[in-house]
Chains A and B, each alone.
Chain A
Amino acid sequence: MWKPTLIGALAAIVGKQHVLGDPVDRKLYGYDATPFAPLVMPDAVVLPGCADEIARIVKLANQEKFPLVPRGAGTNLTGGARPIQGGVVLSTQRMNRIIELDADNLQVVVQPGVVTGQLQAFLEGKGLFYPPDPQSKDTCTIGGNLSENAGGPRAVKYGVTRQYVLALQCVLPDGSLVRLGARTMKSVVGFDLVSLLVGAEGMLGVITEATLRLLPLPACRGTLLVSFARMETAGAAVAELFRDKLLPAAIEFMDRATLDCVRLAHPGVLPENVDAVLVVEVDGSREEVERLTPRVAAVMERLGSATCRWTLDPKESESLWKARRAVSPALGRIAPLKLNEDIVVPISRLPEAIRRIHEIGQKHRVTCACFGHIGDGNIHVNFLVQPTEEERKRAELAVAELFELVISFGGSMSGEHGIGTAKQPFIELELSPPVLEAMRQIKRAWDPNDIMNPGKVFPVPAGDRRVRVPGGA
Chain B
Amino acid sequence: MIAESGFQGARREEIATETREIEQELLRCVRCGACMGSCPVYAQMHHEGGVARGKLMLIQAAMRDGARLGEGEKRYLEACLLCGACTQSCPNRVDTPAVVRAAREILVTAGVSGGLTHFALRRMLPSPRGLAALLKIARSARALWARRIPASSGLHLRFVHDLAGRPRWMPEIARRFALEMGFSTRFSGHGVKVALFTGCVNNYLRPSVIEASVRVLGKLGAAVIVPKDQACCGLPSLSSGERGAAVALARRNLEAFFPGDSPWPEHIVTPCGSCAYLLRKHLPRLLADDPERAERARAFGERVLTFSQFWAKGSPGQVSGQPAQGPILTYHDPCHLSRGLEEMATPRKLLNSLSAARFLEMAAADRCCGFGGTFHLSRADLSAGIADIKMTSILASGASGVVTECSGCNLWLSEQLAEVAPGIQVLTTVEALERYSPGGSNTSK
A residues with CB within 8 A of B: 22-25, 27-29, 31-33, 35, 39, 47, 73-75, 93-94, 96, 113, 115, 117, 136, 138-140, 328-329, 331-332, 336-338, 387, 471, 473
Closest residue of B by beta carbon distance from A140: B33
A-B contact count, CB below 8 Å? 86
**Quick check: A31 and B31 within 8 Å, CB to CB?**
yes
Cβ contact of B30, chosen from A22, A47, A337, A473, cutoff 8 A: A337
* Cα-based distance from A262 to B90 in the complex (angstroms): 16
Contact B64 A22 (CB under 8 A): no
Let me know if B92 and A136 touch, CB within 8 A.
Answer: no
| B28 CB contact (under 8 Å) in A29, A75, A138, A332 | A332
Q: Does B57 count as interface, using CB distance less than 8 angstroms?
A: yes
Inter-chain CA distance A358–B441, complex, in Å, is 63
Tell me the bound Cα distance from A374 to B90 in angstroms.
25
Which residues from chain A contact B93 at a C-beta distance below 8 Å?
A: 329, 332
Partner of A75, one of B27, B33, B47, B70: B33
**A31→B60 CA distance, assembly (Å):** 13
Residue contact A93 to B46, C-beta cutoff 8 Å: yes
* Interface stretch (choices B34-42, B178-186, B272-280, B396-404): B34-42
Interface hits, B73-108 → A, CB 8 Å: 73, 75-76, 89-93
Question: Is A22 a contact partner of B91 (Cβ separation < 8 A)?
Answer: no
B91 & A73 in contact (Cβ 8 Å cutoff): no
Known: A28-B48, A336-B28, A471-B1. A136 touches B57 (CB 8 A): no
| Chain B nearest CB, measured from A148 CB (Å) | 14
- CB of B33 within 8 A of CB of A28, answer no
B32 and A136 form a contact (CB under 8 A): yes
Interface size on B, residues (CB 8 A): 32
Q: Known contacts A332-B91, A336-B28; is A29 also within 8 Å of B48 by CB?
A: yes
Q: Which of B25-67 contact A (CB under 8 A)?
A: 27-28, 30-38, 46-49, 54, 57-58, 60-61, 64
A117: B residues at CB distance < 8 A: 37
Q: Could you say which of A115, A329, A473 contacts B91, with CB atoms under 8 Å apart?
A: A329
CB pairs A–B below 8 angstroms (29 shown): A23-B72, A24-B58, A24-B70, A24-B73, A24-B75, A28-B47, A31-B57, A33-B30, A33-B32, A33-B33, A35-B30, A39-B61, A47-B46, A73-B33, A75-B33, A75-B36, A93-B46, A93-B47, A136-B32, A136-B34, A138-B36, A138-B89, A139-B33, A140-B33, A328-B91, A332-B30, A336-B30, A338-B30, A473-B60
Contact check: which of B28, B36, B57, B92 meets A73 at CB < 8 Å? B36
Chain A residues lying within 8 Å of B32, measured Cβ to Cβ, are 33, 75, 136
Contacts A27-B57, A329-B91; is A138 near B46 (CB within 8 Å)?
Answer: no
- 12 A-B pairs besides A138-B34, A139-B37, A473-B61 with CB distance below 8 A are A24-B70, A24-B72, A27-B61, A32-B31, A33-B33, A113-B46, A136-B33, A139-B34, A140-B33, A329-B93, A332-B91, A473-B64
Closest to B46 in A: A93
Write the nearest CB–CB distance from A144 to chain B, whole angstroms: 10
Q: Is the CB of A138 within 8 A of B38?
A: yes
CA distance in complex: A71, B37 (Å) = 17
Q: Which residues of B contact A387 (CB under 8 A)?
A: 27
- Nearest to B28 among chain A residues (CB) is A336
Task: Give CA–CA (A473, B26) in the complex, Å.
Answer: 11
Closest CB in chain B relative to A414 CB, distance in Å: 17
Once A75-B33, A115-B37, A139-B33 are accepted as A-B contacts, the answer to whether A336 and B49 lie under 8 Å apart by CB is no
Minimum CB–CB distance for A122 against chain B, Å: 14
Nearest Cβ on chain A to B66's Cβ, whole angstroms: 14
Q: Chain B residues near A328: list those with CB within 8 A.
A: 91
The 10 closest A-B pairs by CB, nearest first: A138-B37, A24-B72, A332-B92, A328-B91, A28-B48, A336-B28, A93-B46, A139-B36, A75-B33, A139-B37
The interface residues of chain B lying within 8 Å CB-to-CB of A39 are 57, 61
In the complex, which residues of chain A have a beta carbon less than 8 angstroms from the beta carbon of B1?
471
